[in-house]
Amino acid sequence: MPGALARAIRTAGAAAPEGAGCDLCGEPAPVGHRHLLDTERAEVMCACRACALLFAGPGTGAGHYRLIPRRRVRLPPVPTAPLGVPVGLAFFVPRADGSVTAHYPSPAGATRWEVDATTWRRTTAGHPGLAGLASDVEALLVNTARGQCHHWIVPVDDCFRVVAVVRAEWEGLSGGTRVWQRVEQFFAELTGTPD
C-alpha cells in the first residue's frame, strides 16, 4: 500500500514527519502539506507546495490527479440507516460517475459497498449541503457509535486518517476502549475550515 495512506496507517493518523517527500516530484513536503488523490489508483499522495499549486486552479482536476480540499463542515444529523450502514462509524464518497461508495473502518482496513443511488439522492435532497460534495475528494463522515453524534463534510484524507486510527488501535472483537477513545479524540479535534 504505497503513498500517503500507508504512511498514515503506520503513524496511526499522526501528521507526516518533517521532511516527508512529495509523492510526485520527491521534493520535501512540509508539515501541513496538501494531498492529491490519484483517481486511477485510488491513492492519496503527499504534495509539496509547487505540485499542489499545479492542481489547485479551476479545470485542473480534469486529469487523474485531484487536489484534496481542506473544507470541513459540521452538519446537523443525517439519517444514514436508509443508506445501509451496518455500523455507527462510516464515510460516504460520491464519485464523478454519479455512484456513491460507503466505507466503514475495520481492523483490516476500510470495508466498502455501493450505496443505492436513489436512496442517496433522497438523503441529499433532505440535506442540501451534501449536494455540493466534491466528487472523489470529499466525503460525508458519520460517527454515531457509542452514543456519539457527529456528521461532517470532510476531505477524504481525513477519512483515511480515521481508518488508520482504527487499524492501529483495534483490540479484540469490539475494538477495546482505546480505539473508541482515539476515534472520539479525532472528532473532538475536527474544526470547521473553508477550502
Amino acid identity, residue 134?
A: A
In whole numbers, what is the pLDDT of the chain averaged over residues? 83
DSSP conformation class of 147: G
For residue 162, pLDDT beyond 60: yes
Q: What is the pLDDT of residues 25-55, one digit of tens each?
A: 999 988 889 999 998 888 899 999 999 988 8
Q: Map out the domains of the chain as residue ranges.
A: 3-67, 73-189
Q: What is the pTM of this model?
A: 0.83
Instruction: Specify the long-range contacts of residues 35-38, CB closer than 8 Å, at least 24 apart.
Output: 35/4, 35/67, 35/68, 35/155, 35/157, 36/65, 36/66, 36/67, 36/68, 37/65, 37/66, 37/68, 37/136, 37/137, 37/156, 38/3, 38/64, 38/65
Radius of gyration of the chain (CA): 16
Helix (H), strand (E) at residue 7: helix 3-10
Angle (CA) 8-12-15 rounded to 5° is 60
The pLDDT of residue 22 is 93
Q: Which three cell numbers stand for residue 138?
A: 470529499
pLDDT band at 1 (very low <50, low <70, confident <90, very high): very low
pLDDT band at 14 (very low <50, low <70, confident <90, very high): very low
Amino acid identity, residue 21?
A: G
The pLDDT of residue 100 is 94
The pLDDT of residue 157 is 92
For residue 167, pLDDT beyond 70: yes
Q: What is the pLDDT of residues 70-87, one digit of tens each?
A: 999 999 999 888 888 778
| Pairing relationship of beta strands 43-47 and 34-38 according to DSSP bridges | antiparallel
The pLDDT of residue 156 is 94
Q: What is the spatial distance between Cα 147 and Cα 101, in angstroms, rounded to a whole number?
A: 24
Range 149-160 average pLDDT: 93
Q: What is the largest CA-CA distance in the chain?
A: 47
